[in-house]
């Protein structure tokens, strides 16, 4: 059981990193320093950005749930 939640935690962590990196830079941060401030007029639609936000929140909640369940399971094993 611990192994399953550990694998799920790793998968959700990698997905969360990928999804966060896919977000558009809002300006004024590190993304502008490294060329992220250069925007084209053919940028992504707001619907795609909203869906990306929703998916990121869901994966973040699943990641948090895995952390909590893994903590409970590991504590109950001791």
HSE at residue 40, side-chain half, CA atoms within 13 A, is: 4
60-76: pLDDT as tens digits: 999 999 999 999 999 99
- State the Cα–Cα distance between residues 38 and 19, nearest whole angstrom: 20
DSSP 36: T
Sign of CA dihedral 14, 17, 20, 24: negative
- State the Cα–Cα distance between residues 75 and 58, nearest whole angstrom: 26
**Structure-model confidence comparison of residues 44 and 15, the more confident one:** 15
This prediction has a pTM of 0.74
């Amino acid at each position: 059981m611990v192994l399953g939640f550990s694998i799920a935690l790793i998968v959700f962590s990698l997905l969360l990193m990928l999804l966060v990196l896919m977000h558009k830079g809002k300006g004024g941060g590190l993304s502008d320093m490294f060329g992220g401030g250069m925007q084209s007029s053919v940028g992504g639609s707001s619907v795609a950005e909203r869906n990306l936000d929703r998916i990121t929140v869901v994966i973040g909640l699943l990641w948090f749930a895995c952390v909590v369940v893994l903590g409970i399971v590991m504590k109950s094993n001791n």
